[in-house]
Amino acid sequence: MSHRVVITGIGALTPVGSGAEGLWAGVLRGRSAVRRVTRFDASSFRSQLAAEIDDFDPHAYLEPRRVRRLDRYSQLSVAASLQALADARLTPRTAPLDQAGCYIGSALGGIAFAEHQHDVFLQRGASDVNPSLALSVFGGAGPSNVAIELGTHGPCLANSNSCASGAIAIGEAFRVVRDGHAPLMLAGGVEAPLAPLTFGSFALIKAMSTANADPCHASRPFDAERDGFVMGEGAAMLVLEEFEHARSRKARVYAEIRGYGMTNDAHHMLAPLPSGDQAARAIRLALNDAAIPPEQVDYVNAHASATPVGDRAEARAIQCALGEHAGRVPVSGTKGLYGHPLGASGAIESAICALAIAYGCLPGTTNLRRADEDNPLNLIGPAGLRQRPRTVINNAFGFGGINAALVLTAP
């Protein structure tokens, strides 16, 4: 038996705002949170910009002992999950949390904490290394700590499928609920990558913007002058709930998840397949899964990382997947606001898609001044559009040629 799956709660910790309302307010403001890195000295790198979360206090969510034991990756995982449950108005008394599960996508997991502890090891020796290191660096630490905090005994999974990780976590959790394996899932993406070696490794491969003199305009999805992505941090967790269970408790429903598709370019670890064929196939698979034809799509939230080759390949993929409708459907990329939080980006953008459906407004493409002359898409400018979409596609593509697409609809 196939069950309908709806989004009833959103938790978010991002550079432009926290919680469902804070994230949406940041989207509507349309102001970039990118600035020069403050967490460490980035002056030796060709790229010196990042989007940092300034207002996250783990003590607002966790007991002091847990704060000491969890690194930033796990802290963000638990905090965003608690936000999502509160937003869904769910408690252990009102929901079968013992049967619920948690899926989290993260490209790098606890790598920033590991990097810091490696410095401690080199400077002071093994005796001063934090004993929680071995329990923090693996990606599964995020969902495991959520399970411990909430008492969820259902499916628990982490994936590290690069920048598509968050969307994949949501897609796989969608299948768990749809197929009746759990009535409720927490799913999303979390990334805390801002550490010198990690940051520098991306600067080394020349994937990041070097517009250091103009931070607010450095992240420029689809803009003709884009020169790379800006690294960010963030987290977004969604409550995915079986529809009848949500209806029985009169839950607010943001959107319904209808389809999910995933493919691989099998082409290159860094560069996407130029034709966009396999990214297009992921979109078509998601639409077929949802039993929705391309001409019914009202909005596409593009991955749009602001890399020259990535945005160009994605434009071709959208055109290939949607055919003649591609020139009519509004498309935007929101990474101009909060940079690229790697594995968390697909989850943050899924949350934005659900909010766009709920509040009847399409996000703009911050910092878009002039698109490539051969870009065939109907791109939304920075101001956004007052338009209520009924069917939305969310794309998420990552290193290694990993492609994922989700289809969300009005409930």
What is the three-class DSSP state of 329? coil
Within 8 A by CB and 6+ apart from 351, the residues are 10, 12, 20, 23, 188, 236, 238
Q: Report the alpha-carbon distance of residue 213 to residue 104 in Å, rounded.
A: 35
**What DSSP character marks residue 9?**
E
The residues pairing with 102 across neighbouring beta strands, listed in sequence order, are 156, 186
Kindly state the tokens that stand for 348: 């943050």
Reduced to 3 states (helix: H, G, I; strand: E, B; else coil), residue 11 is strand
Long-range contacts of range 63-71, CB-CB < 8 Å, 24 or more positions apart? 66/149, 69/132, 70/132, 70/136, 70/145, 71/110, 71/112, 71/113, 71/132, 71/136, 71/141, 71/192
| Contact partners, residue 148, CB within 8 Å, separation at least 6 | none
User: Cβ neighbours of residue 145 under 8 Å, at least 6 residues apart?
Assistant: 70, 74, 77, 78
3-state helix, strand, coil in the chain (%, to 5): 40, 20, 40
Active site residues: 163, 303, 340
Rounded to whole angstroms, the Cα distance separating 86 from 5 reads 19
Please choose, from the candidates 387, 408, 86, the residue with its C-alpha nearest in 3D space to the C-alpha of residue 255.
Answer: 408
The Cα 72–Cα 77 span in angstroms is 8
Residue type for 303, please?
H
HSE toward the beta carbon, residue 46, CA cutoff 13 A? 13
